[in-house]
């Protein structure tokens, strides 16, 4: 039997928007607005969307 794969811990750092990308900027702005009003669910959703969207930049 092979050993279990190593799974890294998710980063606790918020994802950074790609400079010059309008969609990244929109999501980062929405995230900041959500955090400011204490809506951490929406802020987390924005983090996830920035991570997934950022994969298209690589």
Prediction pTM value: 0.74
**4 domain residue, yes or no:** no
* pLDDT of the residue at 12: 76
**9 domain residue, yes or no:** no
Cα 13 from chain centroid? 9
Range of the domain at 38: 22-57
Burial class of residue 23 (count of CB atoms within 10 Å of its CB; 0-12, 13-18, 19+): middle
**32 domain residue, yes or no:** yes
**8 domain residue, yes or no:** no
**42 domain residue, yes or no:** yes
Structural domain count of the chain:
1
**5 domain residue, yes or no:** no
* pLDDT of the residue at 58: 54
pLDDT for 3-56, tens place per residue? 877 777 666 788 999 989 999 999 999 999 999 999 999 999 999 999 888 676
**51 domain residue, yes or no:** yes
Give which of 53, 56, 57 is closest to 23, Cα–Cα.
53
């Amino acid at each position: 039997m092979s050993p279990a794969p190593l799974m890294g811990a998710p980063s606790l750092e918020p994802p950074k928007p790609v400079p010059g990308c309008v969609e990244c900027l929109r999501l980062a702005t929405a995230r900041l607005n959500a955090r400011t009003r204490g809506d951490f669910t929406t802020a987390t959703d924005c983090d996830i969307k920035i991570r997934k969207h950022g994969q298209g930049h690589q």
